[in-house]
Chains A and B, each alone.
Chain A
Amino acid sequence: MNIYDLIFYLFATITVLSALAVVSTKNIIYSAYNLMLTFFGVAGLYVLLGADFLAIVQLIVYVGGILILILFGVMLTNKVNGMPIHTEVTNIIPASITIGLFAGIVLAFFMNTNWKSVTTEFPATTIQSLGKLLMNEYILIFELLGVLLLIALIGAASIARKQ
C-alpha cells in the first residue's frame, strides 16, 4: 500500500462519514458543517484523480460560495436564540426499503462490470485543455451559462426583496 492509497482511504473516510452525518444529525448547523467536510473530501478525491483545476473550483464555489449561502439561509430562517434549530426525521421505513433495493442494484452492477483498466497519464495540469475545450467546442454553453447566472441573479433578487 503506497502513500496515494492511504490518501484515498483518508479522504474516502472523511467523505463517507460526513455525508452520513449530513443526513442524520438533528442539528441543522452540524449538518451544514459536515457538508463542508464532504465537499472538502470530494475536493481531495479530485486531486487524486488528476483534476487539479476542479479541486480548486470545488473549494472556491462549493465551500466558499454555496455553503456560505446555505449558512446564511440557516441563520436567516432560524431564530438562533429562542426557536429550536433541531429538525425531525420522517417516513424512514418506506424510504429505506426503496433505497436499499436501488442501492443493491447499482452496487451489484458496478461490481460486476468488467472495467478495462487502462492507466492514462493526465498532463501535469488540466487547465489548458479545459480552457481550450471551453473556448472552442463548448463556447455556446459558456455563453448560455452567462445568461443563466444573470437570470438566477434577477430571479433571486425579485423573489427575496422586501417591499
Chain B
Amino acid sequence: MDITIQDYLNILPLIIIAAGILISVVIEMYAKNSEKILPWFSIVIFFSAGYYALFTVNSQSVLFSNMIVTGGTANIFFFLFCFGAAIVSLLSIDYLKKAGIYFGEYYILLQSAVLGMMLLANARDLVMIFIGLEQMSIPFYVLAGFNRKKHFSNEAALKYFLLGAFATGFIVFGMGLIYGSVGSMSIDAIMTKFGDVSTNAVFIIGVLLFIIGFSFKIAAFPFHMWVPDVYQGSPTTVTAIMSTGGKAAAFSALFIALSPFFGDVSFNIFKPFLSALAVLSMLFGSIVAIAQTDIKRMLAYSSISHAGYMLIGVTSGLASGTAGVIFYLAAYTFMNLGAFGIVSMLEGENDTNLKIDDYINLGKKNPLIAGLLSIFMFALSGLPPFAGFFGKYYVFISAIESGMTWLAIVGVISSVISVYFYLRLVVLMYFKEGNEGINPTVSNTALLGVVIAALIVILIGLFPGSIIELISTFVI
C-alpha cells in the first residue's frame, strides 16, 4: 500500500477540513476572541476545500485499500457541502450574537459535520459510510441543542438524538446482514458477488433495513416525525445546514449503497417500497405545509416533500435518475440555504418574527430582502426560469424513462399544490394593504451569504444543460 503525492493531492479537501478542525480547537483554546477569528478561519477553509474539489473534479482515484474514491460525483458533493457551509458561516456571524450563543465551538462542530458529510459522499465501503454518518450526526445532535438555555433547542436536540440513534441501530443491523450474506463490507465486493446474493433473502432484508435507516436521515414520509420539531427548535443557521448538507450527504450514501443494484432486475424488489416513500413524502409534505403558520415549520414540511421528489430519481434506478438527483440536490442546497438564511436574518431575539404573518409588507420595507426571498420561493416551487424547475424536470424525465410515468404525474400534482404555499409568502410580501409587519435590521455578512446563494441559484437555472452534462459524465 504505497501512497503517492498524487494521492495526497486527491484527498486534499479532506485533509484541509480535518486539519482545520484541529487548528480550530487550538485557536479556541488559546485565543481570547476566538469567536471573532473562527468564523473567518472556517470560511477560508471551506472555500479553499470547495474550490479545490471543483478544480480537481476530473482526477478520479480509489484510495486507502478501496475505502474512499476521489473525483467525479464525490467532488461535486464536496463542493456543495463546503460552499454551503461557507455560506452558513457567513450567516452565523451575526445570528449567533443575536441568539446569545456567541461561542467558538460552534464552528468546530460545523467543520466536523462537514467532514462527516464529505466522508459519506466519497465512501466506497460500508464501514466508511457508518463512520461518515456518525461523524456528521454527532456534531448535529450538539448543534441542534446549542442554544442550551432554551427548551425548544434542548427538546430539538433530544428528539434528533434519540431518533438519529434509533436510525443508526437500523443501519448497523442492516449492515450486519449485508456483511453476513456477502462476506465483506466493501462495495466492490458486493458488486462482484452480486449475482450470487441478489436473491438471498437475508441480503435483501439487510438492504431494506439500511434504506429504512437512511429514510430517517433524508426525512422521507413515515420516518419524518422528527423533522418539523427539530427544524423549528434548532438555531436557524443550524437548520439551514442540517436540511441541505445533511440531506445531500444521506442521499449520496444511499446512491453508493444501492449502486450495485442499478441496472439490475433485482432492483425491482425495492421499487414498490421506494415509490411508496416518494409519493407519501411529496403529498404529505406539500399538503401539511399549507396549514403551517410558522415559517420554519413550513420550510421543514417543504423539505419533506423535496425528499419525495428526489426519491423519484432513486426509484428510477437509472444513471439519468442519479444525475438528476445530484443536480436537484445542488439546486436545493442553495435555494433552501438562501431561504433559511433570510429567515435567520429577520429573526428577532427570543424566537420572534418567525410567523408567516410577520413577512407582510416586507416588499415595501426592504425591497432587496423581499426580492431575494421571492427568488428562493420561485426556485423552491419549481417555476421555470429558476434552478428548482430543472431539478424536478430531470428527475421526472428519469421516472418516465424507467416506465413509471404515474410517479412523474403524482410529482407534478404535488408541485402544483406546493406552489400555493410558496407563492402565498410572495403575495403577503408585496400585495397586502396596510402597514403591519416587521422592520428588519439587516446584517451585512449574512446578506453577502444570501446574495451568493441567490447568484448560484440563478446560475444553475441559466446553465442547466452544461451542469447536468458534467454530472452525467461521472455517473456510470
Contact = CB atoms under 8 A, between A and B. Distances in A.
Do A and B touch each other in the complex, judged by CB within 8 A?
Answer: yes
Interface of A: 105-106, 109-110, 112-113, 136-141, 144-145, 147-148, 150-152, 154-156, 158-159
B244 to A, nearest CB: 21
Contacts of B139: 151, 155
Nearest to B173: A106
8 contacts: A140-B128, A141-B128, A144-B119, A145-B131, A148-B112, A151-B108, A154-B105, A155-B109
Nearest to A136: B1
B112 A151 contact: yes
A110 B68 CA distance: 32
B200 to A, nearest CB: 7
Contacts of B21: 147, 150-151
Contacts of B99: none
Contact of B131 (A113, A139, A144, A154): A144
Contacts of B119: 144
A152 B474 CA distance: 35
A6 B384 CA distance: 70
B177 to A, nearest CB: 9
B138 A155 contact: yes
A158 B205 contact: no
A144 B135 contact: yes
Interface string B128-152: 1001001100110110011010000
Contact of B105 (A113, A147, A148, A158): A158
A136 B138 contact: no
Nearest to B111: A151
Nearest to A148: B135
A152 B1 CA distance: 31
Given A147-B115, A151-B21, A154-B105, A106 B142 contact: no
A68 B1 CA distance: 41
Contact of B202 (A113, A147, A154, A159): A113
A79 B202 CA distance: 46
B115 A159 contact: no
Looking at chain B's contact residues, the main secondary structure is helix
A138 B119 CA distance: 14
A110 B145 contact: no
Given A137-B1, A140-B64, 4 more contacts: A105-B205, A154-B105, A158-B109, A159-B145
B194 interface: no
Interface string B181-192: 000000000000
A154 B25 contact: yes
Contacts of B103: 158
Contacts of B165: none
B67 A113 contact: no
B451 interface: no
Interface residues of B, number: 33
A112 B22 CA distance: 51
Interface string B315-336: 0000000000000000000000
Contact of A159 (B67, B134, B148): B148
Contacts of A137: 1, 64-65, 67
Nearest to B65: A137
Contacts, number: 73
Interface in B93-130: 103, 105, 108-109, 112, 115, 119, 127-128
Contacts of B1: 136-137
Nearest to A113: B202
The 4 closest A-B pairs by CB, nearest first: A155-B142, A109-B201, A137-B65, A151-B112
Given A147-B21, A151-B139, A155-B142, A140 B67 contact: yes
B127 A151 contact: no
B127 A141 contact: yes
B157 interface: yes
Contact of B146 (A138, A152, A159): A159
A24 to B, nearest CB: 19
Given A136-B1, A155-B138, A147 B68 contact: no
B18 interface: yes
Given A106-B205, A136-B1, A155 B141 contact: yes
Contacts of A138: 67, 127
Given A147-B112, A148-B134, A151-B112, A113 B142 contact: no
Contacts of B157: 159
A150 B115 CA distance: 13
Contact of A141 (B108, B131, B138, B146): B131
Contacts of B64: 137, 139-140
Contacts of B146: 158-159
A150 B18 CA distance: 12
Contacts of A105: 205
Nearest to B119: A144
A151 B109 contact: yes
A148 B202 contact: no
A156 B141 CA distance: 10
Interface in B152-191: 157
A147 B135 contact: yes
B205 A151 contact: no
A158 B201 contact: no
Contacts of B141: 155
A59 to B, nearest CB: 20
B131 A109 contact: no
A155 B22 CA distance: 14
Nearest to B17: A147
A141 B22 CA distance: 17
A139 B127 CA distance: 12
A154 B109 CA distance: 8
Nearest to B11: A140
B41 to A, nearest CB: 16
A141 B66 CA distance: 12
Contacts of A152: 138
Contacts of A147: 18, 21-22, 112, 115, 135
